[in-house]
Amino acid sequence: MTDPVLARHAVRSFKADKPTADEVNQLIAAFQAAPCGRGEADVTQAVVVEDDATLQRIETSVNDAAYGAPLLFIIATQDESNFGERNASVAAENVMVEAASLGLGSVYVMSAAMALRKDPALLADLGIDKGYSPQVVVPIGHATEEIAANDRSSRYKVIRK
Ligand SMILES: Cc1cc2nc3c(=O)[nH]c(=O)nc-3n(C[C@H](O)[C@H](O)[C@H](O)COP(=O)(O)O)c2cc1C
């Protein structure tokens, strides 16, 4: 099997068919297994959205920044926590790598999370606790087309000593 860490890449165009219940459960398990700063699990939470009406309401709120995906992970963290952005990012990566291992596409979307922060009524309806704010939205689904693997082997400066 291809290494899912290397197979993962940003997907921004999705088919309408939804991931199966088993796949969603595996993605949630990957979210649950993410590292959390100082072991403080209660500073991070996620809303997993599959309901079509709710997906549509979110797309309208974020100006289509969730790319019409049939499944969204909205990862939110406690406003006072020093670990918020970091917890959310490692959790998002866990979910995206798990998605890749299931043959699903995904993308880390910060802009949708920032847009959601401006819609407190929607956040309340989604069940995000007061005092928590979205950090990242991860749209997930079957990619409309295979994206040719691009060479990322030299993306970052790496110093070896
Ligand atoms: C902190 C962060 C913020 C990002 N925000 C967005 C975003 O708002 N919209 C989007 O389409 N992609 C967003 N991305 C995805 C990046 O554009 C993407 O990961 C990058 O182009 C590298 O491509 P790759 O993931 O295929 O390696 C974000 C990624 C990171 C790490």
- Report CA(93)–ligand 1 centroid distance (Å): 11
Q: What is the model's pLDDT at position 92?
A: 98
Q: Where are the domains of the chain?
A: 4-141
Which three-class secondary structure string do you get for the chain? CCCHHHHCCECCCECCCCCCHHHHHHHHHHHHCCCCHHHCHHHEEEEEECCHHHHHHHHHHCCCCCCCCCEEEEEEEECCCCCHHHHHHHHHHHHHHHHHHCCCEECCEHHHHHHHCCCHHHHHHHCCCCCEEEEEEEEEECECCCCCCCCCCCCCCCCCC
Question: Which residue lies with its CA nearest to atom 17 of ligand 1?
Answer: 10
Q: What is the model's pLDDT at position 31?
A: 98
Pocket test for ligand 1, best of 108, 138, 150, 154 (most atoms within 8 A of CB): 108
CATH of domain 4-141: 3.40.109.10
Instruction: Compute the distance between CA of residue 4 and CA of residue 127 in angstroms, rounded to an integer.
Output: 31
Q: What is the model's pLDDT at position 19?
A: 98
- Report CA(83)–ligand 1 centroid distance (Å): 20
pLDDT, mean of each 10-residue run, the chain (161 residues):
90 98 98 97 97 98 98 98 97 98 98 98 98 98 87 96 98
